[in-house]
């Protein structure tokens, strides 16, 4: 039971660290990320929020 709670807390902490899609921080991190590693959804979101 303790391991399950620890895992849930770890996931919650790590998911809170990612910037919101479309924010300046997210756009900056996507610009630094290799374009070959982008998913189709990330590319679409980048175009929608960071270019237009």
Between CA 15 and CA 46, with CA 33 as vertex, the angle to 5 degrees is 80
How far apart are the C-alpha atoms of 52 and 45, rounded to whole Å? Answer: 10
Q: What is the pLDDT of residue 3?
A: 83
* Chain segment 1-52, per-residue pLDDT in tens: 888 787 677 766 666 678 899 999 999 999 999 999 999 999 999 999 999 8
46 within 8 A of 38, measured Cβ to Cβ: yes
Hey, where are the domains in the chain? Answer: 20-52
How far apart are the C-alpha atoms of 46 and 21, rounded to whole Å? Answer: 8
Q: How many helices (H) and strands (E) does the chain have?
A: 3, 0
Q: What is the pLDDT of residue 14?
A: 64
Question: Model-level pTM?
Answer: 0.64
């Amino acid at each position: 039971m303790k391991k399950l709670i620890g895992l849930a807390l770890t996931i919650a902490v790590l998911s809170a660290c990612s910037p919101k899609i479309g924010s300046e921080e997210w756009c900056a991190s996507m610009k630094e990320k290799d374009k070959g590693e982008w998913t189709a959804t990330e590319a679409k979101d980048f175009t929608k929020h960071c270019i237009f």
